[in-house]
Amino acid sequence: MDIDNLVLMANRIGEFFAAMPDRDEAGREIAQHLRKFWEPRMRRALLAHLDAGGAGLLPIVGAALLEHRAALAPAGAP
């Protein structure tokens, strides 16, 4: 997995939902999009990147990942 590309894609999703006036709803939508359209190893790599400091992630994306981590972590993942 190319983490730079995953970060870029996650940030584009974040930019789209950042226009929503309700930040909590925006975070839920970001997480829902990742859960629906990203395969488990992509989500796993992005969460590992977040754990390593999350360099390059937009704040709204990092917050969504942290808040909705349990829903995003693939089954059996730490």
Return the number of other C-beta atoms located less than 10 Å from residue 22's C-beta.
9
Predicted confidence band of residue 76 (pLDDT cuts 50, 70, 90): low
d(Cα 39, Cα 11) in Å, to the nearest integer? 17
pLDDT beyond 80 at 72:
yes
pLDDT at position 1: 74
Helix ranges restricted to H, the chain: 3-17, 23-37, 40-51, 59-67, 69-72
Q: pLDDT band at residue 64, thresholds of 50, 70 and 90?
A: very high
Band (pLDDT 50/70/90 cuts) for residue 77 is low
Residue 48 neighbours by CB under 8 Å, 6+ apart = none
Domain-wise residue ranges, the chain: 3-72
H or E element at residue 52:
none
According to the model, what pLDDT value does residue 45 have? Answer: 96
| pLDDT tens digits, one per residue of 26-40 | 999 999 999 999 999
Tokens encoding 27: 């975070």
Instruction: Report the pLDDT value the prediction gives residue 74, as an integer from 0 to 100.
Output: 74
